[in-house]
């Protein structure tokens, strides 16, 4: 009676044919897009309202030909997207993804393995475990280490710090902060340049953002002496610092906290060290740049975003802990409909125990394919290239009369200001407003795309060189275009 399928359900053969024919066409068009990327403006001049109006269709009750819809994707979506593959894109920390990672991402969708439990992803779980092992080895974590891929640095920070909280206040997961001895006195130590997601974890945990205490900095990096003093001071006030969150590759300037010396302080004081290496943990793969993260292997937990400096498409984040028992303890869930086996039973590695996510994509495949195809040394070369280009930009800025680098770069992030002679003697507010206007007009021009931040109270231009194909000619084009637009602004 069910020998034929109703019309609405395609046979697997018909779906396969859609995949084949539309897929070939789409891949061709994607390849053309990439090959011709430099002929596009980097971003759109359109306003949010103009773009919103383009997508005001009601819910379609009936379908229409796929070609038509895909053509609209190219016309309406791709056209005015921000083109992160363009070498003039020097904005936020979003990578131009490696081609095999893009392909693996498609495969991830087709297989659709759920990483919550091993029985739903028998091979994928083990591939992920291997990728986690590779990452753990790269930062010098011991055999006891473990971890899981997560959606990104924010969830990795939350996960690492939840593990820290449970390690310091056992039972807190079950009893809550109010009913766990001493937990209401918990505080978290960070420096001013930590990513906002670290402070957010204190809110999410119910500690309150006031439980986040700032540690002094020197040259944009956490100062170990100040950390030691702060631990002593807050303990004197009856508070309990349950973790220090250090930053390896700060978001604003790409600077690295002195992890080894911070680890000394944490070890002596018996405080959990979390390293937010969302941006910079990847430097562990480079022999020449590894020194930046010296000491990272002494951390108790690490956040690491392969979707930043390992050139993976979003979302590919990772959290690693040096002792897997702490991650087991961070989420103590009984879910008999899902987690059948207990920890330690060897039939099962249910990654869903280690993260707040349940359904979770098989993002590990992208890294597994790419690390094997390209090799870790290739990743190192890409990282090094972006840092060299950043150093070259710094030299150009330092040489020019009308530019001022805000700091020496350690990695691929650099802040600077454009200060043409006509601005000399103008009040700070005017100089700051000029930087903001410059950035805004430059980005709208489609020539390139940069970001803006505030350093020491002053507006500053900021670039993150995520694209290894960004070269000297692109840096010159950016600087010259900013000069030209600057002249237009000053001319009124
Ligand atoms: C990007 C970044 C984050 C946030 O990571 P997401 O993947 O965007 O969630 C956290 N910390 C640092 C230092 C970062 O650079």
Domain annotation covers residue 9? no
* 251 Cβ inside 6 Å of ligand 1: yes
Q: Which two tokens stand for residue 66?
A: 């796929």
Contact 464, 91 (CB under 8 A): yes
Domain count, the chain: 1
CA dist 413 and 253 (Å) reads 5
List, in order, residues 6 or more apart from 190 with CB less than 8 Å away: 198, 199, 212, 213, 214, 215, 244, 245
* 386 Cβ inside 6 Å of ligand 1: no
pLDDT at site 339: 66
pLDDT at site 350: 87
Average pLDDT rounded to a whole number, residues 156-182:
93
pLDDT at site 83: 98
How many other CB atoms are there within 10 angstroms of residue 409's CB atom? 23
Whole-number Å distance, alpha carbon 339 to ligand 1 midpoint, is: 30
Domain annotation covers residue 76? no
Domain annotation covers residue 1? no
0.85 exceeded by pTM = yes
- Pocket probe mutation, ligand 1, options 149, 154, 194, 307, max atoms within 8 Å of Cβ: 154
CA dist 164 and 433 (Å) reads 42
Alpha-carbon distances of 222 from 82, 228, 230, rounded to whole Å? 34, 11, 12
Taking 3-state DSSP, the helix, strand and coil percentages for the chain, each rounded to the nearest 5, stand at: 50, 15, 35
DSSP-assigned letter for residue 186: E
What is the secondary structure of 103-140 as a DSSP string?
HHHHHHHHH---TTSGGG-HHHHHHHHHHHHHHHHHTT
pLDDT at site 320: 98
CA dist 351 and 118 (Å) reads 7
* 278 Cβ inside 6 Å of ligand 1: yes
Q: Give residue-wise pLDDT tens across range 107-154.
A: 999 999 999 999 999 999 999 999 999 999 999 999 999 999 999 999
Domain annotation covers residue 118? yes
* 152 Cβ inside 6 Å of ligand 1: yes
How many other CB atoms are there within 10 angstroms of residue 291's CB atom? 13
Give 248 or 342, the one with higher predicted confidence: 248
**Ligand 1 atom, smallest distance to 195 CA:** 11
Average pLDDT rounded to a whole number, residues 245-249:
98
Domain annotation covers residue 122? yes
Whole-number Å distance, alpha carbon 152 to ligand 1 midpoint, is: 7
The percentage of residues in the chain with a pLDDT greater than 70, rounded to a whole number, is: 95
Whole-number Å distance, alpha carbon 276 to ligand 1 midpoint, is: 8
Whole-number Å distance, alpha carbon 279 to ligand 1 midpoint, is: 7
CA dist 411 and 253 (Å) reads 9
Residue 18 predicted with pLDDT over 60: yes
CATH of the domain at 165: 3.40.640.10
Whole-number Å distance, alpha carbon 413 to ligand 1 midpoint, is: 14
Average pLDDT rounded to a whole number, residues 362-383:
98
Whole-number Å distance, alpha carbon 16 to ligand 1 midpoint, is: 38
**Ligand 1 atom, smallest distance to 247 CA:** 13
Q: Give residue-wise pLDDT tens across range 205-238.
A: 999 888 999 999 999 999 999 999 999 999 999 9
Q: Which of 53-57, 72-76, 128-132, 201-205 has the lowest mean pLDDT?
A: 201-205
Strand 301-304 and strand 403-405: the pairing is: unpaired
**Ligand 1 atom, smallest distance to 315 CA:** 7
DSSP-assigned letter for residue 401: S
Domain annotation covers residue 414? no
Domain annotation covers residue 346? yes
Instruction: Report the run of H or E that residue 453 belongs to, with start and end.
Output: strand 451-455
Domain annotation covers residue 446? no
For atom 5 of ligand 1, the residue with the nearest CA is: 153
3-state secondary structure of 16: helix
Nearest-10 crossing angle of helices 153-168, 196-204: 50
- Domain housing 267: 114-360
Give 192 or 453, the one with higher predicted confidence: 453
Mean pLDDT of the chain: 94
């Amino acid at each position: 009676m069910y020998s034929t399928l109703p019309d609405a359900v395609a046979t697997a053969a018909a779906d396969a044919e859609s995949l084949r024919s539309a897929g070939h066409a789409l891949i061709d068009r994607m390849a053309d897009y990439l090959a011709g990327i430099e002929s596009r403006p980097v971003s759109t001049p359109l306003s949010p309202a103009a773009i919103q109006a383009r997508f005001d269709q009601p819910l379609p009750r009936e379908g229409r030909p796929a070609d038509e819809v895909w053509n609209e994707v190219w016309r309406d979506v791709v056209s005015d997207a921000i083109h992160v593959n363009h070498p003039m894109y020097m904005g936020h920390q979003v990578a131009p993804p490696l081609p095999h990672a893009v392909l693996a991402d498609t495969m991830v969708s087709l297989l659709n393995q759920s990483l919550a439990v091993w029985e739903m992803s028998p091979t994928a779980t083990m591939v992920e475990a291997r990728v986690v092992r590779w990452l753990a080895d790269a930062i010098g974590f011991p055999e006891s280490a473990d971890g899981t891929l997560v959606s990104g640095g924010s969830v990795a920070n939350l996960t690492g710090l939840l593990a820290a909280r449970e390690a310091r206040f056992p039972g807190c997961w079950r009893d809550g902060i109010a009913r766990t001895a001493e937990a209401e006195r918990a505080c978290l130590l960070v420096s001013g340049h930590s990513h906002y997601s670290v402070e957010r974890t204190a809110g999410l945990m119910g500690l309150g953002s006031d439980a986040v205490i700032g540690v002094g900095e020197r040259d944009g990096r956490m100062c170990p002496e100040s950390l030691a003093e702060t631990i002593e001071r807050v303990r004197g006030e009856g508070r309990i610092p349950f973790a220090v969150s250090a930053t390896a590759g700060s978001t604003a300037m790409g600077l690295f906290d002195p992890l080894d010396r911070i680890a000394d302080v944490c070890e002596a004081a018996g405080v959990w060290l979390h390293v937010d290496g969302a941006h910079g943990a990847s430097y562990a793969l480079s022999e020449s740049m590894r020194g930046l993260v010296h000491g990272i292997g002494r951390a108790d937990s690490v956040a690491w975003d392969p979707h930043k400096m390992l050139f993976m498409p979003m979302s590919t984040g990772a959290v690693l802990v040096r002792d897997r028992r702490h991650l087991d303890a961070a989420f103590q869930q009984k879910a008999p409909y899902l987690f059948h086996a207990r920890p330690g039973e060897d039939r099962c590695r249910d990654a869903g125990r280690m993260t707040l996510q349940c359904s979770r994509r098989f993002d590990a495949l992208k890294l597994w394919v790419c690390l094997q195809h390209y090799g870790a040394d290739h990743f190192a070369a890409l990282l090094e290239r972006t840092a060299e280009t950043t150093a070259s930009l710094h030299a150009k800025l330092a040489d020019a009369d009308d530019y001022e680098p805000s700091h020496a770069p350690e990695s691929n992030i650099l802040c600077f200001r454009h200060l043409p002679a006509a601005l000399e003697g103008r009040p700070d507010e005017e100089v700051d407003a000029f930087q903001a206007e410059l950035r805004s007009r430059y980005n709208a021009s489609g020539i390139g795309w940069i970001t803006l931040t505030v350093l020491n109270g002053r507006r500053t231009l900021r670039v993150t060189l995520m694209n290894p194909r960004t070269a000297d000619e692109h840096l010159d084009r950016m600087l010259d275009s900013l000069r030209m637009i600057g002249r237009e602004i000053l001319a009124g």
